[in-house]
Amino acid sequence: MTKSSGTCTLVGAGPGDPELLTIKAFKAIQSATVLFVDDLVSDAIVAYASPTARVVHVGKRGGCTSTPQAFIEKLMLQAVSEGEQVVRLKGGDPFIFGRGGEEMEHLRAAGVNVQVINGITAGLAGITALDAPLTHRDHAHGVIFLTGHAKPGRDTTDWHQIATTARDGKLTLVIYMGVRGAAHIQANLLQGLPASTPAVIIQHASLPQQRHAVTTLGELHATIVREGLGSPSVMVIGDVVRGVAAMGQEPLRLQA
């Protein structure tokens, strides 16, 4: 593919709250002539686009009908070849379970120079909204970010080993797209972590409709079912979750 005057930028829109956008992301959105927007990007963020920009919604949400990845990449390539200033707007961060790596590889293989602008990932924004950290010198020496929704046919996550590593290393587990597989994840993590390990499920992180439930690993799946929590949610497992209770948070918070 020959290079054109078109550009392509993968932009992290953050967890949803428009005030959590970076200045660089805001500028890229405003200057785009075409935006390919993921399903989890809030309307308030899309509203920052130029009135003359073309907005194409290419929904990508686990468990729902999604626009095929190959088709999205084809659309992006076509727009760049036509000289458009393309922004691929993704929820969270493009490089944290946002398939940004796949898109960058495909576009660069076709001769397109791709820029990436990071966004605040939901796993960080969600726990921060509850006034708890992901790391703490006394409780968590590191973080493991994981997906609970592996590529079809490639579910090779060794949850037992991860649990053992988290226990021995005092690590926080942050699991994205894990609600549907929570029973399987819980059963395997319990092979290396005690049932009393604190956990929290956070749905719609940073948005007005955010809700969460504080529980334990042993009650993780039952809590999700009882409280009717669904996607998009992140699960945070580890001693840092004790900070949520310490700050006086209710076990389940609903915001209108």
Structure token digits, residue 55: 């907005």
Nearest to 177 by CA among 149, 217, 203, 151: 149
CA distance 211 to 204: 7
Nearest to 29 by CA among 39, 40, 18: 18
Per the annotation, the verdict on 60 as an active-site residue is yes
Task: Exactly one of 76, 104, 177, 235 is catalytic; name it.
Answer: 177
CA distance 121 to 128: 11
Task: Exactly one of 60, 76, 93, 235 is catalytic; name it.
Answer: 60
Per the annotation, the verdict on 3 as an active-site residue is no
Nearest to 41 by CA among 107, 101, 98: 98
Task: Exactly one of 17, 38, 90, 93 is catalytic; name it.
Answer: 38
* Amino acid identity, position 204: H
Structure token digits, residue 28: 């890229």
Per the annotation, the verdict on 93 as an active-site residue is no
Structure token digits, residue 15: 């967890």
**Cα distance between the two ends of the chain:** 50
The β-bridge partners of 85 are: 7
Task: List residues with catalytic annotation.
Answer: 38, 60, 177
